[in-house]
Structure 1
């Protein structure tokens, strides 16, 4: 096994220089074609054309190649494009060549404006517009109307590209804001749940302290038991708070839900409710179940709850499998289905699950399964005392 794995690694490493060489060769050929573009265009518009209209085919193909390079090297591609068409227009001064020069360079400027900041797009648009006007001014048949049309076309192209860029930036900002709000809402929900957990623990401590204070003189053994319970409860509570509250932001206070927090022991009830909704949940528990910290138990339950809810809403299947694996030093949770919901949606349930696991310093993955369906998996480390 080791030899096969090592051999595969050696093969991949030996093939790496070949892939790099092929990539370099491809890039070199592309830029050679881009560099030859002005010469080919010159022969195309001049009377010394290549036989069989080969020059027209080469010009069209190299024009598309130069336009494609706007994505990687926008300024270089625009410079070559503008230089080639200015030279072509100076060779054959005609309205068709002038129109193609304006059209192609304006399209390139519009793309740069839509994909780059104004500090780059404004100088590019101004420089290109000035070169267009200077090249057209050398044509004795051009008039002020034609020059004004060229300037107006450049201005409209820049405004259209800038509008597209602004809309994209605004949409990206809205997505980031929505994600941040989802994370904040999930953290606030976790904080409220921790509030209930801490209130429950403090209540137990208060009761045990009262019992110990009443029986310490007459029943020392009962008082010792009460102190042991206080110590164990306080240690568990402080451990959970230390792992989670240090990472939580301060949010606006809200009404905290009352009642005991759910845990993995309530998965059977969750499975029954999910079955009523039309999806049968197959529960699997492996390893040696043991007591879990309240925050880990609650977070694991919420992950299963959210994942199963997504199966009901989006998977379009009648079954899913939930696996709880007690591994001693960590708790592993997996929810898998064979449905059609194989793409991460636009909602924020997965964002909340990832946030919960991150606060517990665990690992979280979610995505389509190779054979179809969807899989959500989380690994949450357990404190040393519990492990």
Structure 2
């Protein structure tokens, strides 16, 4: 299997660390400008000039650290900061921190379940309701339009986040349907090719049976050869049918192709066609080349064909390497290019089709960018054990 490359170092740093670094740099710059500022911050008594800045720094840093793992806690931290900053010299601070709580609500609505997102929106709305009741119960002059406006920002943030979540869910559904359609189309193609293989083998059996019946009395040796050919072809056909039963199609609107079913023997022609398209393919054979079951031979060829086609379309490179290794109990196919390494995004869903073919043969498939650059497609197809022939009496 291909090892998953690690993301770049900068992407592995949590966002909260970047926020903490920003505020630390800002405080450090202000300390250099005003040497007594750091001491004043550490001896905070609620009245210093930079108290809103300190509260905002703590709330944003802690809220960002909690947002991706515990969004409800991030909303609660922003609300606590907004309440704590009431009465500070900068009157805009509570509103800024409340808007941070709105941002956390929107993120929660976009990434979490409906129950969690509704609960996150209920926190700031409940805090506003409690604050309004407290102000009115204390007899203070209070403008109800302020909490009403802030509550509307919560609703708007939740609606935006919920819309994003719905759009993402719809996109995932469409992508899943497209993938399923690609799998179905590939299975229909496999079924059509399997139909051609069976029809070809049945034709061979019919011809051999006809030959055997004509020379049965005059040429017993030729009759025996014909029967052995019928037996071998029949066993191969039945083995292929058993392995590919899951891919049988229920209907097919397209006519069956008249060309013979391709296999690894056609790789040389594929290499020539690819060279004409501007990509040089280095074809390497390993192990003892031998006859393969028709379904395995066809699947290996289709995997190489699709992978090389992806190199031509997506890699932006002029060379690739194809390795076909014949092992004792499996066939290994490996296609490597040194291009940009991006995952093919064509509408044909070629990787889905390749994986489907390998899964139907109970093999292993992997595809992805390599850590050292480029893209690699690898498949391992198990080979069935030869079926022993029955020993005839007297032989």
Task: Identify the residue that residue 360 of structure 1 maps to in structure 2.
Answer: 361
1:248 correspondence with 2:243:
no
Task: Identify the residue that residue 290 of structure 1 maps to in structure 2.
Answer: 290
What's the offset of the Cα at 1:58? 5.7
Whether the 8 Å contact between 2:236 and 2:293 is mirrored in structure 1 is: yes
Equivalent positions of 1:34-113 (< 5 A) are 48-49=45-46, 53=50, 56-57=53-54, 59-89=56-86, 96-113=92-109
Task: Identify the residue that residue 342 of structure 2 maps to in structure 1.
Answer: 343
* Structure 2 portions without partners, runs of 5+: 1-15, 21-39, 389-395
What's the offset of the Cα at 1:270? 0.9
Task: Identify the residue that residue 382 of structure 1 maps to in structure 2.
Answer: 383
SS of alignment partner, residue 320 of structure 1: strand
CA offsets per residue over residues 310-362 of structure 1, 9 Å max, x none? 1111222222222111112211111222223x121223211211211121111
What's the offset of the Cα at 1:163? 0.4
1:201 correspondence with 2:201:
yes
The alignment covers a number of residue pairs equal to 344
Q: Judging changes above 3 Å, is the alpha-carbon distance between structure 1 residues 377 and 270 closer, same or farther for their aligned structure 2 residues?
A: same
* Structure of higher RCO (CA pairs closer than 8 Å, 6+ residues apart): 2
Task: Identify the residue that residue 14 of structure 1 maps to in structure 2.
Answer: none
Q: Judging changes above 3 Å, is the alpha-carbon distance between structure 1 residues 320 and 123 closer, same or farther for their aligned structure 2 residues?
A: closer
Whether the 8 Å contact between 2:75 and 2:123 is mirrored in structure 1 is: no
Cα distance between partner residues in 2 of 1:60 and 1:369 = 41
SS of alignment partner, residue 213 of structure 1: helix
- Which residue of the other structure, out of 112, 118, 126, is the alignment partner of 1:116? 112
Cα distance between partner residues in 2 of 1:169 and 1:360 = 32
What's the offset of the Cα at 1:153? 1.5
What TM-score does the superposition give when structure 1 sets the normalisation length? 0.80
What TM-score does the superposition give when structure 2 sets the normalisation length? 0.79
What's the offset of the Cα at 1:60? 1.0
Whether the 8 Å contact between 2:56 and 2:97 is mirrored in structure 1 is: no
Q: Judging changes above 3 Å, is the alpha-carbon distance between structure 1 residues 386 and 264 closer, same or farther for their aligned structure 2 residues?
A: farther
Q: Judging changes above 3 Å, is the alpha-carbon distance between structure 1 residues 110 and 235 closer, same or farther for their aligned structure 2 residues?
A: same
Equivalent positions of 1:126-205 (< 5 A) are 126-139=122-135, 140-205=140-205
Whether the 8 Å contact between 1:292 and 1:386 is mirrored in structure 2 is: no
Equivalent positions of 1:232-271 (< 5 A) are 232-245=232-245, 247-248=246-247, 250-255=249-254, 256-271=256-271
Cα distance between partner residues in 2 of 1:129 and 1:54 = 26
> Alpha carbon RMSD of aligned pairs, Å?
2.9
Task: Identify the residue that residue 39 of structure 1 maps to in structure 2.
Answer: none
What's the offset of the Cα at 1:297? 0.7
SS of alignment partner, residue 259 of structure 2: coil
Cα distance between partner residues in 2 of 1:58 and 1:96 = 12
What's the offset of the Cα at 1:51? 6.9
SS of alignment partner, residue 367 of structure 1: strand
Whether the 8 Å contact between 2:187 and 2:249 is mirrored in structure 1 is: no
Q: Judging changes above 3 Å, is the alpha-carbon distance between structure 1 residues 85 and 179 closer, same or farther for their aligned structure 2 residues?
A: same
Whether the 8 Å contact between 1:86 and 1:135 is mirrored in structure 2 is: no
Q: Judging changes above 3 Å, is the alpha-carbon distance between structure 1 residues 267 and 197 closer, same or farther for their aligned structure 2 residues?
A: same
What's the offset of the Cα at 1:241? 1.3
Cα distance between partner residues in 1 of 2:155 and 2:328 = 67
- The structure with the largest helix share of the pair is 1
SS of alignment partner, residue 310 of structure 1: helix
Whether the 8 Å contact between 1:308 and 1:335 is mirrored in structure 2 is: yes
Cα distance between partner residues in 2 of 1:326 and 1:152 = 68
Cα distance between partner residues in 1 of 2:251 and 2:61 = 55
Task: Identify the residue that residue 32 of structure 2 maps to in structure 1.
Answer: none
* Structure 1 portions without partners, runs of 5+: 1-25, 31-42
Task: Identify the residue that residue 392 of structure 2 maps to in structure 1.
Answer: none
What's the offset of the Cα at 1:225? 1.7
What's the offset of the Cα at 1:62? 3.8
CA offsets per residue over residues 270-313 of structure 1, 9 Å max, x none? 11111111112222112111101001111111111111111111
